[in-house]
Amino acid sequence: MTAVNGMPSLPFNLTAVEWSPLYGRYLISRDAVRQGGQLLVEELPLAIGPKCGNSSVLCLACYAPHNVERCCQCGWPLCRACNSEDVANNLHWQLECGVFKAAKARFFELPTGTEQCPQLDCIMPLRVLLAKEEQPERWLEEVAPMEHHEQQRRANADLWHADRVNIAQYLRGPCKLAERFSEELIMQVVGILEVNAFEARTTQGYPLRCLYPYTGILAHNCVPNTARSIHPSDGYKIRLRAMVPLEAGQQLQHSYTYTLDGTVQRQSHLREGKYFNCSCDRCLDASELQTHFSSLKCGQCTEGWLLPKQPTALDTIWSCRACDNSSTSEEVRQIVDALQLEVNAVQSLEMGAKRLEEAERLLRKYKSLLHPSHYIATGLRQLLIEMYGRVQGYEMVQLTDQLLERKAQLCREVLKVLDHFEPGLSRARAMNLYELHVPLVLLAKNGFIASRLSGADLRSRLVEAIDLLKECVEILQHEDPSSQEGILCGVARQALQQLTASVEGLGNQLE
């Protein structure tokens, strides 16, 4: 059997499964964890496959969207390389190829200009069903109890009908699997994947989905205490680590949403995709843990902010705590949507000076509309961090000290937000630490060359940058080497070595 169907490994027996009426099954830490970074769970996926409902024609073995031909055995999509007998670990050949070949189930070419390929929606559910047959005990103990929210999914009649026709009826009809899998079972699997599957990327960066029956029951929190990493070079094994110290018996949580979205956006995502409302401390706090991450400037007074009276309610009044001004949720939504459209227009611009300058313009404009830490402003800062030093006209060697200070300021402001929402060893924190160290090093060297800094001052500034790099490496050292984060870890290590050597040489000169 392939590595895809491996059993979970629980290092040092650090986790256990609990159940409650509110959360269903969830994981806890058996013992106290004294520091972030502790490995809690390792698990190989029960199944991997293309993303359902979002698949263009792609290779069913490596998920590449280019050079796609027909499988030499069943006629379904395979790229040129994977269609070779020399390719090992071809999941398509090991799994669904035999089903399609035996049933003579044809793959139909897409009409010109069509991007979606609903025929591929059946691949991931079929792979889960095949794994069920091969590992019946794991299915019964770990997969069958997973949430699939049939009642809520049925409420979306159009989506339910599309899944029933494109997946359940297709597998039972043209694929001739009616005697092996009931329609009820297939729709259960579709729901399990919709609610619990994780997105990952291949070593070449192509998206896919993985189902982890053990890790997949993690509870949600908009301020997670664990971080997960998926390793495509190790059979897509998932590794779950503590981001912060944990108490014995503490619930393990990760975020099902993007932590740098506001409460309205996070709640909407959870309702529509995960079928529940979040009631974590962050969501219940109108100020989002005193960050004012969704707060708007009051239009009636100079010092007040508009906050929702009931943060998790769809229709709630937004009121100023400094005066009696208030707005409806619809009025707030219209303002935010208009600003987001402007941001989207900037993001769609070609990477270059105009894109950077427009982002800075919007950030200045929104000072009179949004709290400085609002998620739209924070998103613009993150965009600017990624552009300063990389776009023509603003490359790192071209940045003045003023612009280097600007980049450093942007990094610190985003890091301040992350301290609240992704405390501890988060990947986003690591990326921003790396971005921060670069302007700090250049500012220190420029100051020394201009005689504004002494040798001792230069050494002190460089030591600060070294500390940032050490923390960056500490966070990213557990990432897959082929991932964006893993590659950055290698770059940060090299920068750390060079900077450390420079500081040691400087120290010898100062003695």
What SS3 state is found at 430? helix
Residues 93 and 223 in one domain: no
Using alpha carbons only, give the angle 29, 469, 352 rounded to the nearest 5 degrees. 110
Write out residues in the chain with pLDDT < 70, as ranges: 1-13, 52-55, 85-88, 111-115, 510-511
Name the DSSP letter for residue 33: B
The amino acid occupying position 218 is: L
Contact 255, 337 (CB under 8 A): no
Q: Kind of pairing, strands 253-254 and 219-220?
A: parallel
Number of domains in the chain: 3
Distance CA 462, CA 505 (A): 12
Closest CA to 120 of 198, 50, 210, 185: 50
Contact 213, 143 (CB under 8 A): yes
Distance CA 407, CA 387 (A): 9
Residue 196 resides in a domain: yes
The amino acid occupying position 232 is: P
Contact 355, 391 (CB under 8 A): yes
Residues 191 and 224 in one domain: no
Q: What is the pLDDT of residues 325-371, one digit of tens each?
A: 999 999 999 999 999 999 999 999 999 999 999 999 999 999 999 99
Closest CA to 191 of 166, 217, 139, 154: 154
Taking each helix axis from N to C end, the angle separating 329-347 and 353-365, rounded to the nearest 10 degrees, works out to 160
Contact 208, 48 (CB under 8 A): yes
Distance CA 70, CA 77 (A): 5
| Per-residue pLDDT, 5 | 47
Residue 433 resides in a domain: yes
For residue 444, the domain's CATH number is 1.20.58
Residue 397 resides in a domain: no
Contact 128, 192 (CB under 8 A): yes
| Per-residue pLDDT, 12 | 45
Residues 196 and 80 in one domain: yes
Contact 462, 448 (CB under 8 A): no
Tokens of 396: 């790192």
Residues 52 and 192 in one domain: yes
Residues 38 and 58 in one domain: no
Strand-pair partners of 28: 16, 251
CA 165 to chain centre: 30
Residues 115 and 9 in one domain: no
Tokens of 358: 């427009």
Residue 142 resides in a domain: yes
Using alpha carbons only, give the angle 380, 385, 388 rounded to the nearest 5 degrees. 115
Name the DSSP letter for residue 213: T
| Per-residue pLDDT, 14 | 87
Residue 189 resides in a domain: yes
Closest CA to 42 of 193, 249, 240, 174: 240
> How buried is residue 276: exposed, middle or buried, by Cβ count under 10 Å (0-12/13-18/19+)?
middle
Residue 395 resides in a domain: no
The amino acid occupying position 385 is: I
Residues 194 and 63 in one domain: yes
Residues 54 and 155 in one domain: yes
Residues 195 and 62 in one domain: yes
Residues 141 and 176 in one domain: yes
Tokens of 437: 């160290």
Tell me the residue range of the domain where 16 lies: 3-45+212-254
Residues 87 and 11 in one domain: no
Phi, psi for residue 40 in degrees, rounded to 5: -105, -40
Residue 299 resides in a domain: no
| Per-residue pLDDT, 505 | 86
Q: Kind of pairing, strands 47-49 and 39-43?
A: unpaired
For residue 9, the domain's CATH number is 2.170.270.10
Residue 452 resides in a domain: yes
Q: In what order do the strands lie in the sheet with 326-327?
A: 296-297, 305-308, 318-320, 326-327
The structure's pTM equals: 0.90
Residues 6+ apart with CB under 8 A from 313: 329
Distance CA 150, CA 201 (A): 28
Tokens of 443: 């500012």
Residues 11 and 65 in one domain: no
- Helix spans in 135-280 (H): 136-138, 150-155, 157-163, 170-172, 183-196, 263-269
